[in-house]
A and B are shown apart, each in its own frame.
Chain A
Amino acid sequence: MTDTTDQPIPKKTDGNLLQKLELDVRLLGMIGALIILCIGFNIFTDGRFLTPRNIFNLTIQTVSVAIMACGMVFVIVNRHIDLSVGALLATCSAVMAMMQTQILPNMMGLGLGHPMIWILAVGAGLLVGTLIGAIQGWMIGYLTIPAFIVTLGGFLVWRNVAWYLTNGQTIGPLDRTFLTFGGTNGTLGTTWSWVFAAIVCAGALWALWSARRAKATHGFPVKPIWAEMTLSAVVVGAIIAFIALLNSYTIPTRRLERMFEARGEVMPEGLVVGYGLPVSVLILIVVAIVLTVVAKRTRFGRYIFATGGNPDAAELSGINTRRLTVKIFALMGFLCALSAVVASARLANHSNDIGTLDELRVIAAAVIGGTALAGGFGTIYGAIIGALIMQSLQSGMAMVGVDAPFQNIVVGTVLVLAVYIDIVYRKRVGAK
């Protein structure tokens, strides 16, 4: 029994530096872990880990899992699970590969290399992914079959639908424009990368400023102005540093020569061109920003978190939790299809084993990123950092020369350890 009159009114504490900046301690912890990991590998690989080239590769390898991990955050926050994402990715990839190599050029008579091919192929893939996700969501929400079972079934079904569609063959080469989404074959170049950096910086500053103004207009306490400035400087600095790094990875001279030859030109002597931001990473950034806004600032996102926190309360508050489940899984399916675009474009073909074990990587990324399996808690940026940590571990160990079985043993151990640390942290701060 508690009594409100006995509750001390919390004073506006001065607090330490972190509290003044109102930073998320868990976020700092994850970034810290990632930095320590990177520096450690850099030492063990004699400085080969933190080169622009390796960081460029690391980011494009992370994208596919990271995109799906963003959707998995919503699924897990809503107290469900999706074991079918890797298999769904394979089916979407198979559909898109068949569309661009068989159906559109031959059966529809567009001819190879037609500019509409990649649009129609990607559109078909996204449609199939969203539809399959929605059907699985309908079975979970309306037929009340547990998500674990529906997606475990989906795991078998969609993996083998992909196999059936392609007869188990590797399908390729894929459409040339389509390959732009893969990474190395599609980057913005240095100039457009800086333009993009400027836009993101402006957007971030606007978001920080408008949040402050919204608080101020209602007379709520705001951070001291120096804290706001420091935070802005850190955010802008990080964006600029990231783009500068990607721009400093230059296209090898041989490759550049071939690119000029293909256009029938001669490469000027001593030309140096940076890769810049890969299109796939651009897609991930857009997905992350959109889904963060969805999570924090839309009714849809609010209802996902409310349902995860207390499903009965959500239902009694008039939220249609069944329809919500369908929407969440449809979104997850859409993101699987988007990942399929990136993954198959990176490999330049559709192979039968594409996306194998991705479901486990995706769930691990979301969980390492602080998503609680009990539901109600999770962040998009956490999932992306989780995916980065997983990928850094994997490729770092490969570079150091750790044997393959040990790599997986370490990744598995880190997953369990990360969740344990998170549990200890939550107990310490008293959060649930």
Chain B
Amino acid sequence: MPTAKELRASGAAPLVEMKNISIAFGGVKAVDDVSVDLYPGEVVGLLGHNGAGKSTLIKVLSGAYQKDEGEIFIDGKKVEIENPRDARANNIETIYQTLALADNLDAASNLFLGREMITPFGLVNDAAMEAECRKIMGRLNPNFQKFNEPVSALSGGQRQSVAIARTVYFNARILIMDEPTAALGPHETQMVADLIQELKAQGIGIFLIDHDVHSVMELCDRASVMKNGKLVGTVDIEDVTDDDLLSMIILGKNPTESADA
């Protein structure tokens, strides 16, 4: 399988291309004419301060917000994503910063929320879902035992693994992770990092939103930096240093441009 970089060089259509996206809330342009793309097996970091517009941009892709202008292409084909259901239909899965889990339901119910397994009578098949949930959790987080308790009883890391299990189980092709390690301890952060490598190897494209430059340097292939709703630039991680990324975030200066100057 060609690497993401080779695919990009060959001029193949990207897995996702968001072109000239703009979205405004009450006159404030939260995202202003931003274009980003993503190839299979690639991790693209989205960096920026709080309020830089990175989360807003990505919510356009996950269907939580509707764009005002711009186009989205998947495999080179134009798609309309108007709600989270459309996003799911395009194999886009999202892990939210706030962990979109229903606290009063157990892990299996959350894993299958919106896509329950049903019996031939059309009833929800809890036993089968719990069995599947045990299987996938055994792979992702072998210590996980609380299958019959509401997820409100789980720790941050356990909740995160439920959220991740959801994307892995349903064979996402495009994965959006909104600060997936923000609430986690070191061991769990490593678990997420390992998982990202595994998903990459399977050819899944990942948008990783983070404001920690170091984790982006470690996990990503490319990084797109935003400031005040505008795209500062997209760089190959191999070509830049921590400091370059930081100056892009803080000063809004693109290192390649400054080199040309």
Are A and B co-members of a single complex?
A: yes
Identify the A interface with B (CB < 8 A).
1-5, 7, 9-10, 214-215, 217-220, 293, 296-299, 301-303, 305-310, 312-320, 376-377, 430-432
CB of B102 within 8 A of CB of A314, answer yes
Distance from B168 Cβ to chain A, minimum over Cβ atoms (Å): 16
Listed A/B pairs (25) with beta-carbon separation below 8 Å: A2-B156, A2-B157, A2-B158, A3-B186, A4-B158, A5-B187, A214-B126, A218-B128, A293-B123, A296-B124, A298-B122, A299-B116, A299-B118, A302-B124, A306-B105, A306-B113, A309-B103, A309-B104, A313-B102, A315-B84, A316-B94, A318-B83, A318-B84, A319-B114, A432-B152
A297→B121 CA distance, assembly (Å)? 10
Q: In the assembled complex, which residues on chain A have CB atoms less than 8 Å from the CB atom of B124?
A: 296-299, 301-302
Sorting the interface of chain B by its residue count into under 10, 10 to 19, 20 to 34 or 35 or more gives 35 or more
A214→B124 CA distance, assembly (Å)? 12
CB of A10 within 8 A of CB of B145, answer yes
Of A3, A215, A220, A432, the residue contacting B103 (CB under 8 A) is A432
CB of B104 within 8 A of CB of A305, answer yes
A1→B189 CA distance, assembly (Å)? 11
CB of B185 within 8 A of CB of A2, answer yes
CB of A316 within 8 A of CB of B157, answer no
A319→B96 CA distance, assembly (Å)? 16
B155 contacts chain A at the CB level, 8 A cutoff:
yes
| A1-B184, A2-B156, A302-B124 given; A312·B98 CB < 8 A | yes
Identify the B interface with A (CB < 8 A).
62, 64, 83-85, 88, 94, 96, 98, 100-105, 109-110, 113-116, 118, 122-124, 126-128, 130-131, 141, 143-146, 150, 152-153, 155-158, 161, 183-188, 191
Q: In the assembled complex, which residues on chain B have CB atoms less than 8 Å from the CB atom of A5?
A: 143, 187
Of B104, B109, B158, the residue contacting A7 (CB under 8 A) is B158
Q: In the assembled complex, which residues on chain A have CB atoms less than 8 Å from the CB atom of B146?
A: 10
Distance from B100 Cβ to chain A, minimum over Cβ atoms (Å): 4
Q: In the assembled complex, which residues on chain B have CB atoms less than 8 Å from the CB atom of A301?
A: 124
Distance from B170 Cβ to chain A, minimum over Cβ atoms (Å): 11
Distance from A271 Cβ to chain B, minimum over Cβ atoms (Å): 45
Of A218, A312, A320, the residue contacting B100 (CB under 8 A) is A312
CB of B101 within 8 A of CB of A308, answer no
A9→B191 CA distance, assembly (Å)? 18
A307→B184 CA distance, assembly (Å)? 26
Q: In the assembled complex, which residues on chain A have CB atoms less than 8 Å from the CB atom of B143?
A: 4-5, 7, 9
Q: In the assembled complex, which residues on chain A have CB atoms less than 8 Å from the CB atom of B150?
A: 431-432
Q: In the assembled complex, which residues on chain B have CB atoms less than 8 Å from the CB atom of A298?
A: 122-124
A168→B116 CA distance, assembly (Å)? 50
| A313-B100, A317-B114 given; A1·B84 CB < 8 A | no
Q: In the assembled complex, which residues on chain A have CB atoms less than 8 Å from the CB atom of B145?
A: 7, 9-10
Which residue in chain B gives the minimum CB-CB distance to A311? B102
Which residue in chain B gives the minimum CB-CB distance to A11? B145
Which residue in chain A gives the minimum CB-CB distance to B62? A316
